[in-house]
Structures are given as structure tokens and as C-alpha cells.
């Protein structure tokens, strides 16, 4: 192993369940990056912060509350990073930098006029993390890509290309977080030949529906329990699969604006009186079928062998994964098989993106985001320093 550096990656996903923190060692070997995961953990948000994040995403937060929430989330991100560093048996002095995705509260990648440009907003103040830990922080990764005409998402495909590409096997990296997305990595491809995009709904509408109509205190459909008890409503299934985003050509990205509370409210209006079990069965079926349709639509899927490498919280939902496997038409493996725990992948990826930023290397894929070209991502917040004043 050559010279290595250790970073922390932080991810707060649209599911608002908490902060994922990964401590990762990176080095290069034979011209390719390598990694070793030293520690990973998730620090849950308490109910009060979760409600405030959801209110913010639903545009129910004033500017003063948003400003305070930005700093509060920064504190929680710092807490998670400190816990992960401790779990790895390290100290802040061992860490080169923290790469923090922050928490997305608005993702508007399409302009709506001269006074409404494309925009994206992630909170979780990096200055707070730097002050708390005494470590440089790289954050705000998405905005440079949006400024360059891109969607600002997905960004993990660059990580997928660097660590999952093969000279022998066609691969698709599938991530099922709040939103489901894929990275298409043909065998022997260059970075310019990689395509990636958000497919559409993942865990987000499932979690939202559980909060609205599920058992009290449930934040998700645990092990797909409710979905397995229900029956699919054909009319609602057709309505969801007819959503315009699913047919929109790539590059494309989406968020709570498309598949959050408003989407679930629309679904319940299409099929009023539907039981929690039937609603979850139908939404799970639509999410799985949308993913399967995207996989089976790959240009050479019927002529060549492909394999799917799945990650994200959705992989813990056996009801959802059953639907994905039925409709994928190709083998589905876990990112765990490649030394990257499914739950940890996004946190690991943002540690890697921070490492690339520190080395001055572009880390977006224009074929995935639609940006005008490769860009070095993120903003660097230096660690605090106390120096004697020179007279």
C-alpha cells in the first residue's frame, strides 16, 4: 500500500433518519484509487430535528429558523464525525479532512425563468464542523455542478466509476435511498462513457406513507412488513408509473419536490380509503417496477450480461428488493460483496469526493449531471489555527 490519507465522509439523506459517518483510508495503487473502511456508524436525528428538516423541505420554515437549523445540523454532523473517529480508534490529528454532503432542503435543478435559476441548497454549516473538530471540511459539493449547467446530482457515479468498473463485466450501480438512482458502467469504459441518473422514487414515498397512515411511531416499513400484508391497487399502480419524471430523458435528478409529501397525498387521492397495507404494497411495487424498467431498458441488456450492485437503505427492505429482482432481468448483488457496506456507500463516496477536491481533481461526470464539463467540486473550510502574531 502506497502513501495513504484518512478522511471522514458525512451524509444526511432525504429520509431524515440521521447522519451516516464513515472513516475511510484512501491510497493509489497502479494508477487506481483504493480504500479501506475503518469505521461506519449512523447517528439518528431526534424527532424535533427530523420535524424541522421536513418542515424546511416543505417550505414551512422562515429564514431565521433556516439559519439556525443550518448551524444545528452542523453540530449534529460534527457529533457524528467525532463518534466515527472514536470508533476507528483515531483522533482528529489522524484525519486529513471531512467531506460533508450536508442535508438537502431544496433541489431545483431546472430553471423556471430569468428570476428563478436552477438551484440546490444543502445545510449543515461546515464552519461549525471545522471548529468543533479542528479539521478542514469540504462541503457544498453540488453547487459547482449546477453553476456549470448540470443537475448537481447524482455525484456518487464518479465514485462508482473509480471503484466498481471492470474490464470484463458490465455493471450497474443501483442506489436506493430516498430517491433511486443508477450508474451505468460498461465494461472497459472511460469516465466519459458512464451515464447515470435518478430513476425516481425510492424510500422517500414509502417512509412518508408510513408516517401518515402507518402504525404510531413507525418511521419506515420495517422489513417490508406492511407491504407484504397488502394487495397492489392496479389503478394507483398505473397512476404512479405514469408520472412524467419516470419518462423524462436523462440527465435528470429529483427529490422531495417530486416524490415527497405532495406525491403521497396525490396517491391517496387517487385511491381514497386504501388501507396502510395496500398503500405500502402499491408504492413498493411501483418503486421496484420503476427500477426494474430502468435496468431492463439498458441498450445492451438483452444482448450482454450485466450485473447490478445494489446499495442504500432500500436494500434492507426485502419486499422492495423482491420486486426489483423480479423486474431487473439481471443478477442483483450487494455492494457488501465489494467491501463497501450498503449503508455506508454514500458516506464513503463523499469522503472520496473530498479527497479528490483536496488533490484538485474534478469529481463530477458530465454524462451523469449534464454539466458543461468536469469540475472540481466543493468548498473548503480550513481548520481553525491559532498563530502567534508577528511584529
Comparing CA positions, the residue from 368, 322, 325, 321 lying closest to residue 342 is 321
Rg (the chain; Cα; Å)? 20
Tens digit of each residue's pLDDT (9 = 90 or more) over 246-287: 999 989 999 888 999 999 999 999 999 999 999 999 999 999
Cβ neighbour number for residue 6 with a 10 Å cutoff = 20
pLDDT in tens, the chain (391 residues): 558 999 999 999 877 889 999 999 999 998 899 999 999 999 999 999 999 998 998 888 899 999 999 999 999 999 999 999 999 999 999 999 999 999 999 999 999 998 999 999 999 999 999 999 999 999 999 999 999 999 999 999 999 999 999 999 999 999 999 999 999 999 999 999 999 999 999 999 999 999 999 999 898 999 999 999 999 999 999 999 999 999 999 899 998 889 999 999 999 999 999 999 999 999 999 999 999 999 888 876 656 778 999 999 999 999 999 999 999 888 899 999 988 899 999 999 999 999 999 999 999 999 999 999 999 999 999 998 754 444 4
Question: Which is it for the CA torsion 294, 296, 301, 305, positive or negative?
Answer: positive
Comparing CA positions, the residue from 245, 158, 156 lying closest to residue 204 is 245
The CATH number, out of the four listed (3.30.420.40, 3.10.180.10, 3.40.50.720, 1.10.357.10), of the domain defined by the range 4-150+344-381: 3.30.420.40
Same fold, 4-150+344-381 and 156-339: yes
d(C-alpha 56, C-alpha 124), whole Å:
13
Spatial CB neighbours of 194, under 8 Å, sequence gap ≥ 6: 157, 160, 161, 183, 184, 185, 365, 367, 368
d(C-alpha 92, C-alpha 34), whole Å:
22
Q: 34-53 b/e with 16+ CB inside 10 Å = b?
A: bbebbbbbbbebeeebbebb
Please give the pLDDT value at position 300: 67
Question: Does the N-terminal peptide bond of residue 266 adopt cis geometry, omega within 30 degrees of 0?
Answer: no
DSSP state of 249: P
Tens digit of each residue's pLDDT (9 = 90 or more) over 26-74: 999 988 999 999 999 999 999 999 999 989 988 888 999 999 999 999 9
Cβ neighbour number for residue 325 with a 10 Å cutoff = 16
Please give the pLDDT value at position 127: 98
The verdict on domain 156-339 having CATH code 3.30.70.260 is: no
d(C-alpha 102, C-alpha 355), whole Å:
16
Q: Where in the chain are the domains?
A: 4-150+344-381, 156-339
pTM value > 0.75: yes
Please give the pLDDT value at position 387: 42
Please give the pLDDT value at position 391: 40
Amino acid at each position: 500500500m502506497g502513501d495513504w490519507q484518512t478522511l471522514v465522509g458525512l451524509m444526511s439523506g432525504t429520509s431524515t433518519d440521521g447522519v451516516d459517518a464513515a472513516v475511510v483510508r484512501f491510497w493509489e495503487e497502479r494508477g487506481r484509487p483504493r480504500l479501506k473502511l475503518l469505521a461506519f456508524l449512523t447517528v439518528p436525528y431526534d424527532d424535533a430535528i427530523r420535524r424541522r428538516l421536513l418542515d424546511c423541505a416543505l417550505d414551512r420554515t422562515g429564514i431565521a429558523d433556516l439559519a439556525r437549523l443550518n448551524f444545528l445540523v452542523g453540530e449534529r454532523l460534527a457529533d457524528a464525525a467525532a463518534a466515527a473517529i472514536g470508533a476507528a480508534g483515531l483522533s482528529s490529528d489522524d484525519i486529513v479532512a471531512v467531506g460533508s454532503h450536508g442535508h438537502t432542503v431544496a433541489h431545483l435543478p431546472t430553471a423556471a425563468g430569468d428570476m428563478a435559476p436552477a438551484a440546490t441548497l444543502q445545510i449543515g454549516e461546515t464552519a461549525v464542523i471545522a471548529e468543533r473538530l479542528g479539521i478542514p471540511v469540504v462541503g457544498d459539493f453540488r453547487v459547482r455542478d449546477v453553476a456549470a449547467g448540470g443537475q448537481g446530482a447524482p455525484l456518487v457515479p464518479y465514485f462508482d466509476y473509480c471503484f466498481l468498473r471492470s474490464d470484463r463485466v458490465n455493471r450497474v450501480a443501483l442506489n436506493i435511498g430516498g430517491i433511486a438512482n443508477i450508474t451505468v458502467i460498461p465494461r472497459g469504459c472511460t469516465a466519459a462513457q458512464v451515464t447515470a441518473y435518478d430513476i425516481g422514487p425510492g424510500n422517500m414515498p414509502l417512509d412518508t406513507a408510513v408516517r401518515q397512515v402507518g402504525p404510531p411511531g413507525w418511521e419506515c416499513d420495517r422489513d417490508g412488513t406492511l407491504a407484504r400484508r397488502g394487495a397492489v391497487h392496479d389503478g394507483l399502480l398505473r397512476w404512479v408509473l405514469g408520472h412524467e419524471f419516470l419518462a423524462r430523458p436523462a440527465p435528470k435528478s429529483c427529490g422531495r419536490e417530486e416524490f415527497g409529501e405532495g406525491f403521497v397525498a396525490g396517491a391517496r387521492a387517487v385511491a381514497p380509503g386504501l388501507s396502510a397495507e395496500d398503500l405500502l404494497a402499491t408504492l413498493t411495487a411501483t418503486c421496484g417496477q420503476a427500477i426494474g424498467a430502468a435496468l431492463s431498458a439498458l441498450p445492451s441488456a438483452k444482448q450482454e450480461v450485466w450485473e447490478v450492485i445494489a446499495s442504500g437503505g432500500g436494500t434492507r427492505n426485502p419486499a422492495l428488493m423482491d420486486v426489483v429482482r423480479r423486474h431487473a432481468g439481471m443478477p442483483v448483488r450487494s455492494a457488501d460483496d465489494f467491501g463497501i457496506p450498503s449503508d455506508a456507500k454514500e458516506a464513503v463516496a463523499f469522503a472520496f469526493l473530498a479527497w479528490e477536491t483536496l488533490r484538485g481533481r474534478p469529481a463530477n461526470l458530465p454524462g451523469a449531471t449534464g454539466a458543461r464539463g468536469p469540475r472540481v467540486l466543493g468548498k473548503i473550510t480550513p481548520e481553525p489555527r491559532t498563530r502567534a502574531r508577528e511584529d
